[in-house]
Amino acid sequence: MTILSSKTLVDNALKEIKTITSEEAFEMVNKNQCNLIDIRDIRELENEGRIENSNHIPRGMLEFWLDPQSPYFKEGKLDLDKEMVLFCAGGLRSALAAKTLKDMGFQKVSHIDGGFAALKQSKFKKF
């Protein structure tokens, strides 16, 4: 049995998903073209802060909250026709999550290179 490393999984995901910069995400948010989704754990938000105009969906609930067939689906929380732009702390979890959303059938999915660390250094306001 071969166990793939988390690095291998992330590397494979990065080959299949769209990666954008924090500046590109800022433009998309300002043009109302995307759902900015923070997948970090609630403790990370409490300790590090949040990014303006982002929706918090914990990584462990992402697939369930975005699946209309799931009892956990969050009706009306996001515009499912817009691009799903994901971020985590540094960009690893969001790469895996973006791949999963693509696997679910979402066509417009990307993640932010550098995650929250990059967003803190960008034009986004942190609170």
CATH class of 18-120: alpha beta
Task: Give the position of tokens 């067939």.
Answer: 69
As given in the structure block, the two tokens for residue 59 are 């990584």
Residues 65-93 pLDDT 10s: 999 999 999 888 899 899 999 999 999 99
pLDDT for res 51: 95
> φ, ψ for residue 85 (rounded to 5)?
-110, 110
Cβ atoms within 10 Å of 7's Cβ, excluding its own:
9
- Length, in residues, of the chain: 127
User: Cα torsion at 83, 15, 19, 45 (round to 10°)?
Assistant: 90
| pLDDT for 19 | 97
pLDDT tens digits, one per residue of 4-33: 999 999 999 999 999 999 999 999 999 999
Cα angle value 124/52/102 (rounded, 5°): 90
Question: Residue 76: what pLDDT?
Answer: 85
